[in-house]
Amino acid sequence: MSVLQEVLKANAGYAATFGTKGKLTIPPARHFTILTCMDARLDPAKYAGLAEGDAHVIRNAGGRASDDALRSLVISYKLLGTNEFFVIHHTDCGMLFFTDEVMRNLLANSLETAELTPNGFQDVGKGPGSTEGEFVDWLTMKDNAAAVLADVRRIRNHPLIPRSIPIYGYIYDVRTGKVEEVPGATAAGKAM
């Protein structure tokens, strides 16, 4: 069942009270960017105290510093004036529950949605699948804190990111709503 009508109705209510938000500027008012996961349990506006127009929020699976995330970070600072970056992963992330090999095998078997069981993701669909997943780096993780540190280091060492931008590394706890600093990540992302 589609949620299309529900979304359109919600949008109509939102648009009816849009007010002066149409006058917000393109550059974010608070001049920072958050790179975080697409997980529906995360609401960066709430956990970081954001209003519309305050900050850029880049979301992808795992909140990883993928090539596309880096592209967005570069646009964010170079064209839109952000001057601080936050990398915020989270507890209980789905990217910790599978490997590239598991994802490739699931896709090769079926394109239908897999099921998360106590033994990991299991394919419940019928074929056909596709081997195209073999050509994707899924950026899975084994250790959340290590992944935050790796992402901060990747951003810090990227030739298109100025050394003057501080990069902070955190993990959001989906059970408490708190963000906790990853030891070493903020030091690795220190501005110079």
pLDDT of the residue at 44: 98
| Domain layout of the chain by residue ranges | 24-98+138-188
Answer whether CATH 3.40.50.720 is correct for domain 24-98+138-188: no
Which residues, in sequence order, are CB contacts of 185 under 8 Å at separation 6+? Answer: 87, 145, 148, 149, 152, 167, 168, 169, 170
Give the type of residue at 163: R
Mean pLDDT of 116-135: 92
| 87-108 per-position pLDDT tens digit | 999 999 999 999 999 999 999 9
The pLDDT tens digits of the residues spanning 171-181 come to 999 999 999 99
Token pair of 187, please?
Answer: 């030091």
pLDDT digits (tens, 9 = 90+) for 55-65: 999 999 999 99
CA–centroid distance for 92 within its chain: 14
Q: Does a cis peptide bond (omega within 30 degrees of 0) precede residue 162? A: no
Give the pLDDT score at 127: 86
